[in-house]
Amino acid sequence: MQSNVENPNVLERNLDISISQENIQVEVDDRLKRLAGKVKVQGFRPGKVPLRIVAQQFGAKLRQEVLGEMLQKHFQEAVQQQNLRVVGAPHFKAKQSEENNAHYEFSATFEVYPDITLGDLSALSVNKPVVKIDDKEVEKTLHILQKQRAKYELVHRPAALGDRVNIDYRGLIDGNEFQGGKANDFALMLGDRYILKDFEDAILGMSLGEEKSFQMVFPDDYHDKEVAGRPVVFNVKLNKVEEPVLADIDNEFAKSLGIQDGDMKRMYDEIRLSLEREVSQRTRAKLKEQIMQCLLDTAICNAPRILVAQEVKHLVQDAKNSLATQGIHSEEIPLSPESFLERAERRVKLGLILAELVKIHNLNVKSEQIKKYVEYYAQSYENPEQVVKWHYSSPERLREIESIVLEDNVVSWALEQVKVIDQEIAFEDLMGYPHASA
C-alpha cells in the first residue's frame, strides 16, 4: 500500500491510496476456496462445486467486498501514520489508471479535527446580575399566580387591558390574503403583548359584535420575511369579551399552590425559596452566556464543515419538533437550512473549545456532581424522589445532565480567570417581567 496526504484547505485533506491487485486476488481466491466448501449450487453436491463455478457466481461480489475492506484498512493505517484525527467518514473516489496497472488507485477526501488555540481570559470581564428578593418580589409573583389561575366572566362592555377576547380576523396585503393572516374564534389576552401592539391597540375599546377595519405596518424585523415591513389592512370582528376574576389570596389559594394545610406563611416561604432558586439559575445562565462568548472571542478554532452540516440538521429537526408542539406543520413555515448555519457553526466551535478545555484542565464530570445536580433540580417538584428515580432510570437522561454539568465545570473554571463585576439589576429585568409602568 502506498499513500500520500495533501492539504487543500485548513481542515480538508486528500489522501491517495494505491492497493496491489495481486494482494486483492490472493484474498479473493482464499475466500472462494472457503466458500466452495459450503456453498449450495443446483446440480452439484455440497462441497463438490467446482471453483470456477463458485468464481463465476460469487467472484465479483467477493472482489468488491475485499476491495472495500482493504481500502478502509489502508485508509486507517495511513491516517494513523500521519497522526490525523478524522471527522466523520471519508469520501472515496476511484482514479483512472493506465491499462495493465498492477494497482487500484483511489483518492480519499476527508476533514480532520482542528488544532485549537485557547485564548487568555484574564483581561476580560463579565457582569454578574445581583438581585435582591424581598416582600415586594414575592407579592408580584403572587399576583402573577393569581392571574394564571383567574376565572373569566362574560361582560357587555368595551374591551380593556387585562380582558380575554375572542375575535375573527382577516388580513390583506395589496388586496390579497397571506399565510397566517386569517383566523376565526381566536382567543387573545389584551396586554400580554402576545401579538403586535398596533393590532392589540386597535381591539381595545371594541364592543361585542362590533366589526372594524384598520391599517398597520408589519415591523421590518418581523419573523415572517414575506410580510416584514409591508402595510396590511385587517378586518376584525369582536365575538366575546371576558374579564378576569381573581381568587382571594387565602388558605384555599395556598392549597391550590400545593400547600396541603393551606398555611399562608409556608406559602410565602415556598414562593421566596422558588424565586431565589430561579434567580440563581438565571444569574448562572447570564454568566454562562457571557463566558461562552469570551471563549469564542479569544480562541482560534475552525469548524469542520461535516460537523456544521450535522448540527444544521439537528437544529432544523428541533425547530420542526417545536412547531409541532404548537400544532403547526413545518410545511406551513419554510425552514431554510442556510438560516441555521451561523448558529450551527457557533455551537460546533463551542463544543470543540469546551472539549479542549476539559482535556487540558481536567474538568471532567464526577458522579457526585451529577447526583447533586439531579437532587437540586428535583427539589422544585412535588415528589423529588420520583424525579430523581426518573432521571437515573435512563442513561440518555443522565447523559443530558452530564452535558449540563460539564458546561458548568467550564463556566466555574472560566469565572476564576476573568474579572467578575457585580451589577445590580431590577428583579423584573432578570425575570423578564414587564415593569409596573409598562
pLDDT for position 306: 94
CATH code for the domain in which residue 173 is found: 3.10.50.40
Q: Cα 200 vs. chain centroid, distance in angstroms?
A: 32
pLDDT for position 101: 76
Q: Is residue 291 part of a domain?
A: yes
pLDDT for position 98: 65
Q: Is residue 241 part of a domain?
A: yes
pLDDT for position 55: 87
- Contact partners, residue 215, CB within 8 Å, separation at least 6: 231, 232, 233, 234
Do the beta carbons of residue 34 and residue 22 sit within 8 Å? Answer: no
Report the amino acid identity of residue 296: L
Q: Is residue 264 part of a domain?
A: no
Do the beta carbons of residue 168 and residue 186 sit within 8 Å? Answer: yes
Q: Same domain for 198 and 68? A: no
Cα 310–Cα 313–Cα 319 angle in degrees, nearest 5: 145
pLDDT for position 7: 60
Q: Same domain for 238 and 284? A: no
Q: Same domain for 206 and 311? A: no
Q: Is residue 145 part of a domain?
A: no
Cα 400–Cα 404–Cα 406 angle in degrees, nearest 5: 110
CA dihedral 412, 361, 123, 353 (to 10 degrees): -90
pTM for the structure as a whole: 0.72
pLDDT for position 49: 78
Q: Is residue 266 part of a domain?
A: no
pLDDT for position 3: 54
Task: Tally the C-alpha atoms within 13 A of residue 437's C-alpha that lie toward its C-beta.
Answer: 0
Q: Same domain for 58 and 102? A: yes
Q: How far apart are CA 149 and CA 414, in angstroms?
A: 42
CATH code for the domain in which residue 54 is found: 3.30.70.1050
Grid cell locating 378: 428535583
Do the beta carbons of residue 261 and residue 96 sit within 8 Å? Answer: no
Q: How far apart are CA 316 and CA 339, in angstroms?
A: 9
Q: Same domain for 53 and 84? A: yes
Q: Is residue 311 part of a domain?
A: yes
Do the beta carbons of residue 131 and residue 430 sit within 8 Å? Answer: yes
CA dihedral 358, 409, 283, 295 (to 10 degrees): -10
User: Tens of pLDDT along 156-187?
Assistant: 999 999 999 999 999 999 999 988 889 999 99
Report how many domains make up the chain: 3
pLDDT for position 437: 40
Q: Same domain for 50 and 103? A: yes
Q: Are strands 211-217 and 125-130 parallel, antiparallel or unpaired?
A: unpaired
Q: Same domain for 289 and 234? A: no
Q: Is residue 257 part of a domain?
A: no
Of the candidates 245, 266, 296, which is a domain's last residue?
245
Q: Is residue 194 part of a domain?
A: yes
Q: Same domain for 401 and 374? A: yes
Q: Which residues of the chain carry a pLDDT beneath 50?
A: 1, 436-438
Determine the structural domain holding residue 166 and report its residue range.
Answer: 151-245
Cβ neighbours, 10 Å, residue 148: 7
Q: How far apart are CA 2 and CA 103, in angstroms?
A: 10
pLDDT for position 43: 75
Q: Same domain for 129 and 167? A: no
Q: Are strands 164-173 and 151-154 parallel, antiparallel or unpaired?
A: unpaired
Q: Same domain for 179 and 291? A: no
Q: Same domain for 240 and 287? A: no
Q: How far apart are CA 203 and CA 163, in angstroms?
A: 11
